[in-house]
């Protein structure tokens, strides 16, 4: 997807920003022929590592950002349509580093008309300002076809990276009846237990073109099944050898530590069911260079049928865990678990709450790159082209 316009006009924590493809103009006078319209006077953050451009102009032509610069650097045609953005902040687009294309509406992606597919993508992803996503659990061949249709220009949508199918411990994958009840496609997730099995499944996925590997370090439900650390290490080694990311669903304290020691780069959630994380655990996580996607909204969503007091306490524990991690200097990535969550709205009280926690970090702003993990692997850094 090249140079399409997705702009969020809001006052948002700049820690979440990643790049929307734009051409940055700071000095020279640049005439632009017949732009469609211009955003004038706002403060523009073109990326998390760049200083803001104040009293800026953004020129847009045919749905494409043509130029960005200070008012003094961009020459406007006399008859251009203007939108006064004085007092507003305009950010580059967002990564959503935790999504799933698993709802039944994405099944048989090759048969869905382009207009319908674009509408579904707008509803779930791009209307919320996200132009890049990491799908961390789906039917890979179906998701690959979705990505192909976007990249061909047939469908409007974000840049997609994907882990494809999740590696579960044996006996830990969701049953088909659970997938049916939750509106999920019938996906056959691989189950592994031995290192050789994990290596084979990871290799199969990576050979098919996925962008990373995801493991369930501990299964849902009762009794919990742990994926042995040796199996996590084997899958992670295969991913590391190809420069790919490893995501892990921790679920329990044992699952978290297995993932951390097994070579995971990114934890897909916190573990509020396990209570507070002690200093030794936080230090070990920090030393291993992992990042966390807190998905705070998930806990309210999953506990919506439980007692208010129980839900509030669970969410409070999740927020306290996140605050401890941020205070310890840990890396936090923005992700919402949409696709599993059927409420796609990111413009709720839960996004400001996460931003508020991040701003309390004692050592300054949160690392603005999406993931600067060990093995020199990252989700992405700002690119302006």
- Whether 44 and 131 map to the same domain: the answer is no
CA distances from residue 124 to 90, 120, 211, 348 in whole angstroms, order as listed: 21, 6, 21, 15
Q: How confident is the model at residue 92 (pLDDT cuts 50, 70, 90)?
A: confident
Q: Tell me which residue of 169, 337, 192 sits closest to 255, measured CA to CA.
A: 169
CB proximity list for 131: less than 8 A, separation 6 or greater: 1, 4, 6, 20, 93, 94, 158, 159
Q: Is residue 138 part of a domain?
A: yes
Instruction: Check residue 64 and give its pLDDT.
Output: 79
Rounded CA-CA distance 357/334 in Å is 12
Q: Determine whether 318 is exposed, middle or buried from the number of CB atoms within 10 Å of its CB (0-12, 13-18, 19+).
A: buried
Q: Tell me which residue of 297, 280, 264, 374 sits closest to 96, measured CA to CA.
A: 297
Tell me the pTM. 0.80
CA distances from residue 354 to 97, 116, 360 in whole angstroms, order as listed: 15, 32, 10
Full DSSP string of 297-365: HHHHHHTTTS-HHHHHHHHHHHHHHHHHHHHTT-EE-----BTTBS----SSTHHHHHHHHHHT-TTSS
- Whether 283 and 305 map to the same domain: the answer is yes
Domain boundary among 75, 91, 107: 91
Q: Does 355 or 13 have the greater pLDDT score?
A: 355
Q: Tell me which residue of 260, 366, 287 sits closest to 323, measured CA to CA.
A: 366
Q: Is residue 244 part of a domain?
A: yes
Q: Tell me which residue of 374, 321, 364 sits closest to 15, measured CA to CA.
A: 364
Considering the chain, what is the average pLDDT of its residues? Answer: 83
- Whether 154 and 246 map to the same domain: the answer is yes
Rounded CA-CA distance 319/270 in Å is 9
Of all residues in the chain, the percent with pLDDT exceeding 90 is 70
Instruction: List, in sequence order, the alpha helices (H) in 47-154.
Output: 114-124, 140-151
Q: Tell me which residue of 371, 374, 369 sits closest to 18, measured CA to CA.
A: 369
The token pair at 323 is 């605050």
Average pLDDT, integer, range 283-291: 96
Digit-coded pLDDT (tens) for 297-310: 899 999 999 999 99
The whole domain housing 348 covers 94-376
Instruction: Give me the number of domains the chain comprises.
Output: 2
The token pair at 231 is 């199996």
Neighbours of 34 (CB within 10 A): 9
Query: Per-residue pLDDT for 33 more than 70?
Result: no
The token pair at 347 is 């413009």
Backbone angles phi, psi at 333, to 5 degrees: -110, 150
Domain boundary among 48, 72, 91: 91
- Whether 87 and 98 map to the same domain: the answer is no
- What is the DSSP pairing of strand 74-75 with strand 81-84? unpaired
Digit-coded pLDDT (tens) for 108-122: 999 999 999 999 999
Query: Per-residue pLDDT for 66 more than 80?
Result: yes
Q: Is residue 384 part of a domain?
A: no
Query: Per-residue pLDDT for 217 more than 90?
Result: yes
Q: Is residue 1 part of a domain?
A: no
Can you give the CATH number for the domain in which 19 is found?
2.30.40.10
- Whether 84 and 108 map to the same domain: the answer is no
Instruction: Check residue 348 and give its pLDDT.
Output: 55
Digit-coded pLDDT (tens) for 231-281: 999 999 999 999 999 999 999 999 999 999 999 999 999 999 999 999 999
Q: Determine whether 63 is exposed, middle or buried from the number of CB atoms within 10 Å of its CB (0-12, 13-18, 19+).
A: exposed
Digit-coded pLDDT (tens) for 178-195: 999 999 999 999 999 999
- Whether 214 and 260 map to the same domain: the answer is yes
Query: Per-residue pLDDT for 30 more than 60?
Result: no
- Whether 81 and 113 map to the same domain: the answer is no
Rounded CA-CA distance 184/362 in Å is 41
Instruction: Check residue 166 and give its pLDDT.
Output: 98
């Amino acid at each position: 997807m090249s140079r399409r316009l997705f702009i969020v006009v809001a006052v948002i924590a700049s820690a979440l920003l990643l790049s929307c493809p734009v051409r940055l103009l700071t000095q020279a006078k640049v005439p632009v022929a017949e732009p469609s319209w211009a955003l004038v006077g706002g403060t523009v953050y073109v990326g998390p590592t760049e200083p803001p451009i104040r009293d800026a102009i953004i020129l847009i032509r045919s749905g494409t950002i043509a130029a960005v610069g200070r008012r003094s650097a961009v020459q406007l045609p006399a008859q251009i349509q203007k939108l006064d953005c004085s007092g507003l902040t305009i950010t580059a687009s967002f990564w959503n580093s935790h999504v799933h294309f698993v709802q039944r509406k994405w099944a048989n992606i090759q048969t869905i008309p382009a207009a319908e597919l674009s509408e579904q993508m707008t509803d779930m992803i791009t209307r919320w300002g996200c132009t890049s996503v990491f799908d961390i659990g789906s039917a890979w061949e179906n998701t690959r076809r979705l990505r192909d249709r976007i990249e061909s220009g047939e469908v409007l949508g974000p840049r997609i990276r994907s882990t494809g199918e999740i590696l579960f411990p044996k006996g830990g994958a969701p049953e088909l009846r659970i997938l049916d009840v939750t509106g999920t496609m019938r996906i056959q997730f691989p189950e592994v237990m031995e290192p050789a099995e994990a290596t084979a499944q990871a290799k199969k996925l990576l050979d098919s073109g996925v962008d990373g590997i995801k493991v369930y370090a501990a299964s849902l439900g009762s009794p919990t099944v742990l994926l042995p650390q040796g199996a996590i290490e084997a899958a992670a080694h295969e991913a590391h050898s190809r420069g790919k990311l490893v995501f892990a669903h921790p679920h329990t304290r044992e699952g978290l530590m297995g993932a951390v020691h097994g070579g995971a780069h990114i934890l897909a959630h916190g573990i509020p069911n396990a209570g507070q994380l002690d200093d030794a655990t936080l230090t070990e996580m920090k030393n291993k260079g992992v990042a966390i996607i807190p998905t705070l909204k998930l806990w309210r969503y999953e506990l919506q049928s439980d007692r208010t007091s129980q839900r509030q306490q669970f969410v409070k524990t999740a927020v306290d865990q996140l605050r401890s991690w941020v205070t310890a200097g840990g890396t936090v990535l923005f992700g919402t678990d949409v696709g599993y969550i059927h409420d796609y709205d990111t413009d709720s009280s839960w996004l400001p709450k996460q931003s508020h926690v991040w701003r309390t970090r004692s050592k300054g702003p949160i690392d603005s790159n999406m993931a600067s993990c060990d093995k020199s692997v990252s989700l992405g850094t700002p690119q302006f082209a």
